[in-house]
Structure 1
Amino acid sequence: MSIMWISSAVAQTVSVAIAEWPPYAVKSLEDGGKYTKRVIDSLKSAGFKAHLVWHDNWLTAYNRTQVAKDDASIFWVCNPERADHFYYSNPFQVIQTVMFHLKSNNYQWNNLSDLKGRGPFGITTAYYYGDNFSEAAKKYNFNLREVRRESLVFNLLIYGRVNYVPTDILNGLELIERHVPKESQSYITYNPKPIEVGYLHLIIAKSHPQAKIILNGINKAIALLDDKYAKQLALKSLKDSCPTIEQAL
């Protein structure tokens, strides 16, 4: 645990667990890329000395945050099961999850119920694809094939091992550009109708001794955001963005 409370005149140091999730989190870019930087900068404006702690995957980032080895983690969507262990910040960005597939797979569908028996679906360990997909996967017994690293998921699609890949639009396009052979990239498309409109949050373990103080500070930082991404937020409170979560402080 790295948070230090020295005095009101000294910045409060907070470690933020993170892993690669391009274009939102890119280790090779300064400050993790523009999406990460905007949040870290807002934390600094709110009086935090925030620093990123990069992990090999999101499962490790999640686990480290859960046991308060890192003070918070960034880029998480609401999940009622995770809410048993974590406090969620107010939302700081909107994302849209769509279903990627091969162009040769021209099956026409309107609702997730239409995809019953149409799998397998390629997903990444520790990722949550929103309530809609999660509930449909359980209700219609979707055949899910998990990979530990998201860099592998579109290769499952190219080689015919899965038929669909649900993911955020920007993340999906970035993964295709980075990890799918150039000659195969044009074979992939996506249904533009979102299966989920989600909101990104920071999470703090409820077991963290300073959890509520950190959460209040992070929410103060988020309120300072005043850019196009903040203006896209129609819903700015946790109650609105995560109606299935009861979070008592």
Structure 2
Amino acid sequence: MVVRLFKLLPLLLLLINNAPQAEVIRLASSNYYPHYGEQLAEQGAAIEIIRQAFALQGVQLEIDFLPFARALYESQQGNYSGLVAAWYSEQRTAHFYYSQPLYANQIVLFKRKTDTIRYQNFQDLARQQQRLGVVQGYMQPMGLIESGIKTIQVATDEQALAMLALQRVDLVPADLLNGLYLLEHKMPQHQQQLEWLTPALEQRPMYLVLSKKDPANEQRIERFNLGLQQLKASGQYQQIIDSLLPQY
């Protein structure tokens, strides 16, 4: 019996060595709670959607977490295959292939509860000398920056909301779920100080983006889109949303 196993061992090793290997790609990501983040279950709904859609196409993911501006830059330079999620901008299409939408963020303006802020347009906010806390690298609602409103850039959403609570800025444009998650889980000391203005500024879809520095990414984005369609058709897409994305 032992002799027979030894005879089979070279054949087994040959089969293992010749077995098709899953393609592995590395993506850069920031922490954008509760949508995606290093400390979240399955690293969040957005990453799990990307992971499972790619898995249906025989592709495995490796994720490195970086501040958003650096993750965007490193992906644009081709040091990563792409970026986990980004909003659409015409400028970025020169550097990235965009996937079909993952799902949309609801962008609102956060403010202090003690402040009364009324405006008809963004120019009103500029005339009121409101100060805007923005995360470096984020796309802002069309016309907001162009209004001339004073902006103060920070590295993370958490820093922007902390500055709002400490009266160093007056407004913060942010995804509603992201703001509520951070206030509940990361900075509960400020949770009762802040609220948001209605209606929402916009519904802004998130996309997987892959760098045009790698020619293979054009075909990868097509494979991802196919995997995403399969994920939705199977019902698994909605299961991921329901189980990993909190409903406030």
Q: Normalised by the shorter chain, which TM-score bucket? A: 0.7 to 0.9
Shift of 1:120: 0.5
Identify unmatched segments of 5+ residues in structure 2.
1-17, 242-248
Which residue in the other structure is 1:203 paired with?
Answer: 209
Which residue in the other structure is 2:92 paired with?
Answer: 82
CA distance in 1, matches of 2:214, 2:127: 43
Dislocated runs of 4+, deviation >4 Å: none
Distance verdict in 2 for CA 1:30–1:187, change over 3 Å: closer
Check if 1:127 corresponds to 2:123: no
CA distance in 1, matches of 2:137, 2:71: 10
CA distance in 2, matches of 1:102, 1:13: 45
CA distance in 1, matches of 2:188, 2:40: 23
Counterparts of residues 10-89 of structure 1 (less than 5 Å): 10-55=21-66, 57-89=67-99
Distance verdict in 2 for CA 1:230–1:81, change over 3 Å: farther
CA distance in 1, matches of 2:74, 2:113: 39
Which residue in the other structure is 1:236 paired with?
Answer: none
CA distance in 1, matches of 2:187, 2:214: 40
CA distance in 1, matches of 2:28, 2:115: 38
1:199-238: per-residue Cα shift (whole Å, max 9, x none)? 110111112131211211221222223233899xxxxxxx
Matched-pair contact (CA < 8 Å) for 1:152–1:179 = no
Secondary structure of 1:28 counterpart: coil
Larger Rg: 1 or 2? 2
Matched-pair contact (CA < 8 Å) for 1:129–1:167 = no
Identify unmatched segments of 5+ residues in structure 1.
1-6, 232-249
Which residue in the other structure is 2:111 paired with?
Answer: 101
* TM-score, normalised with respect to structure 1: 0.80
CA distance in 2, matches of 1:151, 1:53: 20
Distance verdict in 2 for CA 1:230–1:108, change over 3 Å: farther
Matched-pair contact (CA < 8 Å) for 1:73–1:203 = yes
CA distance in 1, matches of 2:36, 2:204: 17
Shift of 1:137: 1.5
Shift of 1:121: 0.5
Check if 1:215 corresponds to 2:237: no
Which residue in the other structure is 2:200 paired with?
Answer: 194
Percent identity, please.
Answer: 21
Secondary structure of 2:208 counterpart: strand
Secondary structure of 1:91 counterpart: strand
Which residue in the other structure is 2:160 paired with?
Answer: 153
Distance verdict in 2 for CA 1:113–1:35, change over 3 Å: same
Matched-pair contact (CA < 8 Å) for 2:34–2:40 = no
Check if 1:172 corresponds to 2:175: no
Matched-pair contact (CA < 8 Å) for 1:147–1:153 = yes
Shift of 1:171: 0.5
Superposed CA RMSD in Å reads 2.2
1:53-99: per-residue Cα shift (whole Å, max 9, x none)? 222x0112112211211112112010112122111111111111000
Shift of 1:31: 2.8
Secondary structure of 1:10 counterpart: coil
Which residue in the other structure is 2:12 paired with?
Answer: none
Shift of 1:155: 1.2
Matched-pair contact (CA < 8 Å) for 1:93–1:230 = no
Higher percent of residues as helix:
2
